[in-house]
C-alpha cells in the first residue's frame, strides 16, 4: 500500500472496520488527524469506557478512557504523529473498561499521508495484552474467552444454568506435590467432568482451579445438582484408581439463568463467583444454589463494610462508645462499666453489634476501631475516677486484634497516656472466639498477667472448652451470658449447675459476674448464689458517656 489515499476514502476504511469487527477479537481503528475524528470497532465501545465507536475531539475523549498516569505518553505520541515526526504508533498503555478496571492494551498504527506528504490518517489495531486465551492447554478445554463468546451469543435468550466448580484447597496440592502434579490433577478433573456431562452441555476452564459447565437447554437446578453429584462420584473414582495418592474435593455454585435479571457476561460471572464462594464458605465439598435474597445480604454486608471503612478514615464518624454499669453485689455500689461499641450511619441507620462487629473482624477493620474504643474507654475511666476512686472499665478484645496486631502494646500505651493503674482496665475475651490456643494468644495472656492487667472470660458457658480455658488462663473474672442466666432462672437443674460454677469460680480465687439481670425478681433469685458482680438492664442499659456520667457519677 502507498502512503497516500488516492483510491481509498475514510468511508471505505470505516466500512472495512464494520465488516471485519464480528470476525476479530482485536479492534481495528482509524483516526482522521486533520479533522480530529476517530472510528473503532463497535466491540471496543462495548468493552471499554468509550462514548461510542465514532467520536471527535479525540485527545480529550481519550483523556477519560486512558489511565491518568498513562495519558501524557499517549498525548505526546499523538502530537508527534500530527506534526509528521513519527510514522508509526506502537505503545502499550491502559484503558478503562466498562467496570472501570484498568486493562493493558497494545496499540499499533501506521500513518498514511495525503498527496502533499502530510499526515492525514492513523490506521491500526488494538489488542489486549493480558487477554485470556480462547483455550487452555493444561486441561485441554475451552477457556474463559470462549465462555464469554458463547454467553454473549445467547444474550437475551439464556435458558438453563451455569455450574461453576472449584477444586478445594488446590494450592496445597501444588505446594505438597509440585506444579506438574497439580497440572495432572487439573487434566484428570477436566476428564472426570467431561465424562458425565450431557452432549449439549459445554465445559470450560475459566481460571486457576475453576471450571464451568453451561447448559443452554432450559434444564434447571435439579439437573445441575444431579450433575454435581455425578462429577463428585467421578472424581472419587479417579482418586481411588490413583491409589489415594492425593485426596481432594470439589465445590460448586449453581445459578439458574432465569433467577438472574441482568444477563450481561460480567454480571453472570460475578454472580457465579459469588455462588462458588458461598459453597466454599459453607464448608466446601458441597453445592450452593444462587438466590437473589442471599446475594442481597452479601451486597448489604459489602456496602456496610465500605461505609465503616470510610467512617474510620473520617475520624471514626458514626462509631460511639457506650457504657453499662457493673454493680458490686455485696457492697451494693457501682464499681465499673463495660465499654460497648455502637455504630450508626445515614445510609443504614443504627446497626446492631451482632451485624457490624463480625464484618469488622472479617475485614480486619476491628484493629483500628478496637484501638479507638480502647482509648475512649480509658479516657472515660480516667475522668470518672476523679469522682469514683477505683472505678474500672472493661473492654472487649477480638481474637483478630490478638492474632493480627500488637494489642498489648496498644493497651500499655493507653495506660501510660491516661495515667491509669493496670487494674483500672479489665480485658474481656469471648471464649468462643479462641477455639485453639496459639503462640499469639498465649503470649498476649501472659503479657496481661506480667503487667497486672485483669482478664475476664466473657460469655462463659456458651463456648466449647470452658474448663480447659479456666485451667490455662486463670481469669480474674468469669462472666455468665444472659442466655445461661435465663436457663438457670427457669430450671432447677440449670440453677444448680450455675451455683456449682459460682462455687468453683470462687474456689480458684476468681470473681463471678452474672450478666442479663433485668428485673428485681431475677436479681433476688440470682443473688442467692453469691455472685460478686451483676450487670444488666435492671441497673442500667448501655448509654453514651455523658448520659452515664449524669446517671451514675455523683
Residues 259/291, Cβ–Cβ less than 8 Å: yes
Query: Which CATH architecture group holds 312-552?
Result: Alpha-Beta Barrel (3.20)
Least confident window among 65-74, 153-162, 260-269, 522-531: 153-162
DSSP code at position 66:
B
Q: In this structure, is the dihedral angle defined by the CA atoms of residues 195, 198, 200 and 205, taken in order, positive or negative?
A: negative
Decide if pLDDT at 431 tops 60.
no
- Report pLDDT for 185: 93
User: What are the two backbone dihedrals, phi and then psi, of residue 135, each rounded to the nearest 5 degrees?
Assistant: -140, 160
- Report pLDDT for 437: 54
What's the CATH number for 10-128? 3.30.450.20
Confidence of residue 3 (pLDDT cuts 50, 70, 90): very low
Helix (H, G, I), strand (E, B) or coil at 164: strand
What's the CATH number for 135-290? 3.30.70.270
Name the pairing type of β-strands 425-430 and 455-460: parallel
In this prediction, residues 95-101 reach a mean pLDDT of 89
Nearest to 459 by CA among 350, 535, 360: 535
Residues 367/340, Cβ–Cβ less than 8 Å: no
Domain boundaries, the chain: 10-128, 135-290, 312-552
In this prediction, residues 309-338 reach a mean pLDDT of 94
- Report pLDDT for 5: 44
- H-helix or E-strand containing 540? none
Name the pairing type of β-strands 201-207 and 210-215: antiparallel
User: What are the two backbone dihedrals, phi and then psi, of residue 110, each rounded to the nearest 5 degrees?
Assistant: -120, 135
Helix (H, G, I), strand (E, B) or coil at 69: coil
Decide if pLDDT at 113 tops 80.
yes
Confidence of residue 74 (pLDDT cuts 50, 70, 90): very high
In this prediction, residues 75-91 reach a mean pLDDT of 92
Separation of alpha carbons 335 and 234, rounded Å = 65
In this prediction, residues 434-445 reach a mean pLDDT of 71
Decide if pLDDT at 26 tops 80.
yes
Separation of alpha carbons 71 and 94, rounded Å = 9
Residues 393/377, Cβ–Cβ less than 8 Å: yes
Decide if pLDDT at 309 tops 60.
yes
pLDDT for 237-295, tens place per residue?
A: 999 998 889 999 999 999 999 999 988 888 999 999 999 999 999 999 999 999 999 99
Which residues neighbour 367 within 8 Å (Cβ) at sequence distance 6 or greater? 400, 401, 404, 405
The highest-confidence range among 318-322, 495-499, 534-538, by mean pLDDT, is 318-322
Decide if pLDDT at 394 tops 70.
yes
Percent of the chain with pLDDT over 90: 67
Q: What is the pTM of this model?
A: 0.73
Ranges of beta strands (E only) in 190-332 are 201-207, 210-215, 250-256, 287-289, 319-328
Which residues neighbour 423 within 8 Å (Cβ) at sequence distance 6 or greater? 392, 452, 453, 454
In this prediction, residues 167-183 reach a mean pLDDT of 91
Locus of grid cell 427457669: 490
Nearest to 392 by CA among 278, 285, 533, 510: 533
- Report pLDDT for 464: 47
User: What are the two backbone dihedrals, phi and then psi, of residue 545, each rounded to the nearest 5 degrees?
Assistant: -55, -50
- Report pLDDT for 112: 92
Confidence of residue 132 (pLDDT cuts 50, 70, 90): low
- Report pLDDT for 332: 86
Separation of alpha carbons 347 and 282, rounded Å = 29
Residues 128/103, Cβ–Cβ less than 8 Å: yes
For residue 119, the cross-strand partners are 113
Least confident window among 135-144, 303-312, 405-414: 135-144
- Report pLDDT for 2: 41
Locus of grid cell 474456689: 507
Top-confidence residue, 366 or 155 = 366
Name the pairing type of β-strands 102-113 and 88-96: antiparallel
Amino acid at each position: 500500500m502507498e502512503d497516500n489515499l488516492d483510491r481509498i476514502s475514510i468511508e471505505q476504511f470505516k466500512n472495512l472496520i464494520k465488516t471485519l469487527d464480528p470476525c476479530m477479537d482485536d479492534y481495528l481503528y482509524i483516526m482522521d488527524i486533520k479533522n480530529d475524528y476517530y472510528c473503532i470497532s463497535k466491540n471496543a465501545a462495548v468493552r471499554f469506557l468509550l462514548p461510542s465507536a465514532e467520536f471527535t475531539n479525540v485527545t480529550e475523549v481519550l483523556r477519560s478512557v486512558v489511565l491518568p498516569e498513562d495519558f501524557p505518553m499517549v498525548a505526546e505520541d499523538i502530537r508527534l504523529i500530527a506534526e509528521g515526526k513519527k510514522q508509526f504508533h506502537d505503545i502499550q498503555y491502559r484503558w478503562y473498561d466498562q467496570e472501570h478496571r484498568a486493562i493493558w492494551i497494545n496499540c499499533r498504527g501506521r500513518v498514511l499521508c495525503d498527496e502533499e506528504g502530510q499526515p492525514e490518517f492513523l490506521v491500526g489495531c488494538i489488542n489486549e495484552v493480558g487477554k485470556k486465551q480462547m483455550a487452555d492447554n493444561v486441561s485441554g478445554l475451552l477457556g474463559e474467552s470462549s465462555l464469554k463468546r458463547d454467553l454473549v451469543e445467547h444474550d437475551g435468550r439464556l435458558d438453563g444454568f451455569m455450574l461453576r466448580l472449584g477444586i478445594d484447597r488446590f494450592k496445597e496440592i501444588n505446594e505438597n506435590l509440585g506444579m506438574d502434579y497439580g497440572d495432572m490433577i487439573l487434566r484428570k478433573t477436566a476428564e472426570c467432568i467431561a465424562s458425565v456431562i450431557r452432549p449439549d452441555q459445554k465445559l470450560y476452564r475459566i481460571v486457576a482451579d475453576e471450571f464451568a459447565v453451561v447448559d443452554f437447554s432450559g434444564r434447571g437446578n435439579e439437573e445441575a445438582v444431579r450433575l454435581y453429584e455425578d462429577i463428585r462420584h467421578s472424581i472419587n473414582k479417579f482418586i481411588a484408581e490413583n491409589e489415594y495418592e492425593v485426596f481432594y474435593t470439589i465445590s460448586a455454585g449453581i445459578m439458574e439463568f432465569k433467577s438472574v435479571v441482568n444477563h450481561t457476561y460480567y454480571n453472570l460471572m460475578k454472580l457465579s463467583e459469588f455462588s462458588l464462594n458461598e459453597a466454599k464458605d459453607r464448608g466446601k465439598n458441597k453445592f450452593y444454589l444462587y438466590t437473589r435474597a442471599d446475594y442481597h445480604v452479601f451486597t448489604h454486608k459489602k456496602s456496610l463494610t465500605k461505609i465503616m471503612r470510610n467512617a474510620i478514615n473520617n475520624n471514626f464518624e458514626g462509631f460511639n462508645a457506650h457504657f453499662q454499669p457493673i454493680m458490686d453485689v455485696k457492697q451494693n455500689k457501682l464499681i465499673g462499666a463495660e465499654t460497648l461499641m455502637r455504630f450508626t450511619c445515614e445510609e443504614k441507620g443504627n446497626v446492631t453489634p451482632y451485624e457490624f462487629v463480625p464484618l469488622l473482624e472479617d475485614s480486619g477493620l476491628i484493629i483500628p476501631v478496637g484501638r479507638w474504643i480502647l482509648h475512649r474507654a480509658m479516657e472515660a475511666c480516667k475522668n470518672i475516677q476523679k469522682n469514683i476512686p477505683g472505678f474500672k472499665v472493661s473492654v472487649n478484645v477480638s481474637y483478630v486484634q490478638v492474632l493480627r496486631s500488637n494489642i498489648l502494646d496498644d493497651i500499655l500505651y493507653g495506660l501510660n497516656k491516661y495515667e491509669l493503674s493496670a487494674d483500672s482496665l479489665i480485658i474481656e475475651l469471648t471464649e468462643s472466639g479462641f477455639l485453639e490456643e496459639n503462640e499469639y494468644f498465649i503470649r498476649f495472656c501472659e503479657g496481661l498477667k506480667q503487667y497486672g492487667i485483669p482478664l475476664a472470660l466473657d460469655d462463659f458457658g456458651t463456648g466449647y472448652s470452658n474448663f480447659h480455658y479456666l485451667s490455662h488462663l486463670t481469669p480474674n473474672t468469669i462472666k455468665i451470658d444472659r442466655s445461661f442466666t435465663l436457663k438457670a432462672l427457669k430450671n432447677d437443674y440449670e440453677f444448680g449447675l450455675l451455683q456449682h460454677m459460682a462455687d468453683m469460680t470462687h474456689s480458684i480465687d476468681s470473681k463471678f459476674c452474672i450478666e442479663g439481670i433485668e428485673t428485681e425478681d431475677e436479681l433476688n433469685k440470682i443473688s442467692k448464689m453469691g455472685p460478686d458482680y451483676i450487670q444488666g438492664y435492671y441497673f442500667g442499659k448501655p448509654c453514651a458517656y455523658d448520659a452515664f456520667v449524669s446517671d451514675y457519677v455523683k
